[in-house]
Amino acid sequence: MDIGFIGLGNMGAHMARRLVQAGHKVFIYDTRQEAIGDIAALGAIAVRSPKEVADSAETVMVSLPTPDIVLKVATGPDGVIEGKKVKRFVDLSTTGSVMAQRIFKLLADKNIVQIDAPVSGGVRGAEKGTVAVMASGPRADVEAVEPALKVIGKFFYIGEKSGAGQTMKLCNNVLSAAATVATSESMVTGVKAGLDPRIMLDVINASSGRSTATEQKFPEVVLPRTFNQGFTAGLMKKDVDLFLSEAKALGVPVQTCEAVAALLKLTCDELGPDSDITTVIKPIEKRAGVEVRSKS
C-alpha cells in the first residue's frame, strides 16, 4: 500500500519505520530535516510538504503534537486538503472529538474521508508495535487502512461516528494521568513516613493498587530519577484538558480529573511543559521535603 506519513516525532518516527519495514511504500514529511533523513535511510520517500504527501498517496497518516497543528496540516495552505491523490486522512494524533469532527467536515467537502485513529502505549509501544489503535469513521474506509494500522499496533474499531476514537483515547489517557498523579502522592506519603519505595512498589504490585504507573513508570523511571518516560507533562495536560472539556459538554461531573489537571498545570508552570510526565512527582516532593528514589 502507498501511504503518506506526516510527523516523525517520538511516536511518529517509530510508526513510520514499522510501515516501511512491513513493505509499504511510504512518503514522508516533517518540519525537521534530520527526522526525515532517519526514515528515508530505511527506504521511505521524502517529499517537501503535506500537499506533496497527499499528491503521492491515497492514504495519508499524521502523528502531530496539537489539535491546531493537525488542523493546519490537514486543511491549511499547502496542506493535505490540496493533494491530488489523497482519499483518506488518518489522524493518529490526540485532538479531541470536536476537532476531529471539524476536520472531517472540511475534508469531506473535497471528498477526503477523515479517520481518527489515536494511539496509546507510549514511545516503547510505538517502537514495538504494541500501541492500541482506536479507529473510528466510515467502516469501509477504516477497513481499507486496517492492515496498515495493524502494523502500527493492536487495532480496535470504535465506531462509525467521527471523533469516537478521540473520545476513547481521552478516556484512556485521563486514567493514565490520574494513576501517575495518585501514585506520586501515595509514594511521597509512604517515603516521608519512612517506608522503602522499592518495598512499597512490590506490595502495591501484588495488591489492588497496581497500575502501569506502579508496574513500569515508578520502578523504571522515577526511582532511578531518570524521568525519561518519553511523554511530556505538557502533552498530557493537553489531553486531560481535552477530556475535561468533552466531559463537561456532556454534563459529566469530573472533580477528580480536575484535580489531576491542576497538578499537571503546576508541573508545567514549575518545570516547563517539556518536562517528562513522571516529573509530576517533583512538586509534591518539593512541598513534602522528601525524594522518592532508589536506596541502592
The C-alpha atoms of residue 149 and residue 99 are separated, in whole angstroms, by: 21
Alpha helix (H) residue ranges in 109-215: 122-128, 139-152, 164-192, 197-205, 212
Specify the DSSP element, H or E, that contains 158.
strand 153-159
169 an active-site residue?
A: yes
Burial of 89 (0-12, 13-18, 19+ CB in 10 A): buried
The C-alpha atoms of residue 14 and residue 8 are separated, in whole angstroms, by: 8
Active-site residue (options: 51, 169, 238, 282): 169
Q: Is 108 left (phi over 0), alpha (psi -120 to 50) or beta?
A: alpha
C-alpha radius of gyration, the chain, whole number: 20
Which residues carry out catalysis?
169
